[in-house]
Every structure is written in structure tokens, then in C-alpha cells.
Amino acid sequence: MTTLAQTHDALLLDLDGTVYLGGQPIDHVAPALARAAVLGARSVFVTNNASRPPTEVAQALTSMGVAAEPDDVLTSPQAAAAMLAERHPAGAKVLVIGAPWLEESVRQVGLEPVRLAEENPVAVVQGHSPDTGWRNLAEGCIALRTGADWVACNVDSTLPTDRGMLPGNGSMVAALVAATGLHPRVAGKPERPLLDAAVRQVGSSRPLVVGDRLDTDIACAVGASTPSLMVLTGVSTATDLLAADPDHRPTYVAFDMRGAQAPRRLRFQCPLRIEVPMCRNRMPDARLARRSPVEGGDDLIKD
């Protein structure tokens, strides 16, 4: 029987909650992705994270036992910089609110990163940095009020950390929305520029989006008309899935990354039994039931 890894030529993978959690690799991810690669599906790590460059991300993944090269990683600053380069000429000044990697991404596409509104930037680009403060936001506010273009790497309101959920880039973006009445173009998930850039980067014709969040990973896939696999290892739960609107519904569901090398009937063992028809945007018979695991067998996510 054909598996998902044989059907698709690239797995567009979220990181936190999908590949690792709290800085620790999630069980079964490394061998599952290695097997998927053998079956023909390349792993591409697509992240809204705006502070770490691909080299650093690849090194972190490798240290967890997950095979990754810098070319296998695409970050939201790269997608945001590409959006700016499409609209503004080479050498144009862009006010950067964010980490050094965001500044470098702007430079790599031929634009000039600046930090002050008095340098007359044509655009503002905003990404997460733990060092962003009032003065940074004030510079952005001034530039936006003069008519500068505005691109946000992502609008994630929270950021998962080992201390719990903390303010994310979306919270900082919200401050400028409140101050200016304007809204940015968005590069990262759930918008599609980051996903489109990943597909172009690897030349995929049959991608599969893999993630744990219905409101970002899966919503992005639905918006891009791309098949998706939801793994129940991160933020969104089975209960969330059953209550999801059509634009937040995955094509496939699996308990963990082993689903990427499974056939259309995805299996897992868990006291919570979820039965979800495996079809895009249709789950008319979805139901949730408490059940003890069957000794010697698995509970099923059914076709």
C-alpha cells in the first residue's frame, strides 16, 4: 500500500511541537524522517522563527539526531525579505525591527537595512527579537506614518519557551497596529509566502505540510490548497481538531511523525480514540470517544 512519503516528494515541516518540543526531540521523529527520505520525501524545515539563521537551525536539528543541512531550512525572515525585494528596488532602505538574522536577510536580497526612521526607509520589516523595546517600535511607528511599506515575519501572538508561552512577534506587531491603524503584509504561516518560498527552494511538485497547529500550519496548507498532515505532538489537540472550521482541517492526522511513512490508515495507541475520515476538508462522521487501548492492537484513525 502506498505511504504518504511515497505520495509526496517533500515534507514541509514545522519545528516546535512537530520535530522537537521544549528543545528536546520528539519521539520517533528522526527515524521517521530518515525512512521518509528513503521513500522519496525530502525534509524541509519551514519555520516562523525570525531570530535564528538556517545554519543555526540545522546545527540544532543535527544535535538532536535529525539530519538537516542549511539548505533544508527556510525561515520567515527569508520570505519577508523576498517580499520586500519584489516591491522595492535594489539598494532601497528598510527599517529593521528584529534580530540580526532579519537584518542579514534584508541585506542578502540587495536591500539596505537601517534602524532609524530618519534614514527615510521605504519599508519596515518586523520579526521577533527578545531585545525589541519601545524605542525600536517608535522608530517603526514614525516610518509607517510617513507611508513606508510594512512586512511582518509572522503574527504569532505567543512564543513557546521552557518558561511557558511568552509574547511573540504578533504581540509587538499589535502594538504598531494600535499606534498607526495600519496592518502589515505577513510572510509567515498562516499566510502562504513562506510556504511558497519553501516549495520553490526545493522544486517540489507534490509537497505535504506537516505541523501541530491548526491555526498556523494547517490553515496555511488549506490556504495554499496543499495536502497536510497534523501530528498530535504539540499545541493543537484531538478535541481542537473535531471542533475545527473547514479552513483549519488537515488532510491527514497522525499521533506522531510515524504517520508520514504510514498508508492512508494511520495508527496509534492511546486511551483517547479519534476517528476521522481521511479526506480533505470533509469530516462529517468525526467523533470522539473514550476507550482503553486494545491489548495486542492499536486504536485507529480510520479512513
14 is catalytic: yes
The count of structural domains within the chain is 2
Q: Is 149 an annotated catalytic residue?
A: no
Between 288 and 95, whose confidence is greater?
Answer: 95
What is the CATH number for 162? 3.40.50.1000
Whether 59 is covered by a domain: the verdict is no
Rg of the Cα atoms in the chain: 20
Are 204 and 254 members of one domain? yes
Query: What are the pLDDT digits (tens) for 4-53?
Result: 999 999 999 999 999 998 789 999 999 999 999 999 999 999 999 999 99
Identify the residue with better confidence: 22 or 132: 132
Q: Rounded to an integer, what distance in angstroms lies between the CA atom of residue 12 and that of residue 44?
A: 5
Confidence (pTM): 0.85
pLDDT at 282 over 80: no
Single residue among 186, 203, 222 that ends a domain in this structure: 186
Q: Which of 9, 16, 71, 298 is catalytic?
A: 16
For residue 150, the cross-strand partners are: 124
Same domain, 85 and 169: yes
Answer yes or no: do 179 and 221 share one domain.
no
Kindly state whether residues 119 and 36 are assigned to the same domain. no
Mark which of 130, 162, 186 sits at the end of a domain. Answer: 186
- The answer to whether residues 15 and 100 belong to one domain is no
Domain boundary among 164, 186, 208: 186
Q: How far apart are CA 185 and CA 188, in angstroms?
A: 10
Give CA angle at 14 (1, 202), nearest 5°. 75
Are residue 12 and residue 109 in the same domain, yes or no? no
- Could you tell me which residue, 210 or 165, shows the higher pLDDT? 210
Q: What is the mean pLDDT of residues 96-112?
A: 98
Q: Give the closest residue to 226 by CA, choosing from 241, 213, 207, 240.
A: 207
CB count in 10 Å sphere of residue 177? 17
**What's the burial of 285, exposed, middle or buried (CB within 10 Å: 0-12/13-18/19+)?**
exposed
Integer Cα distance of 92 and 122 in angstroms: 7
Residue ranges making up the domain that contains 108:
76-186
pLDDT at 73 over 60: yes
Q: Got the DSSP string for 132-177?
A: --HHHHHHHHHHHHTT-EEEES---SEEEETTEEEE-HHHHHHHHH
Q: Are residues 91 and 182 in the same domain?
A: yes
> Percent of the chain, pLDDT > 70?
86
Q: Specify which residues 113 forms β-bridges with.
A: 94
**C-alpha distances in Å from residue 115, one per residue of 15, 58, 111, 178, 299:** 29, 28, 13, 21, 55
Question: Are 202 and 252 in the same domain?
Answer: yes
pLDDT at 287: 39
166 domain residue, yes or no: yes
pLDDT at 1: 75
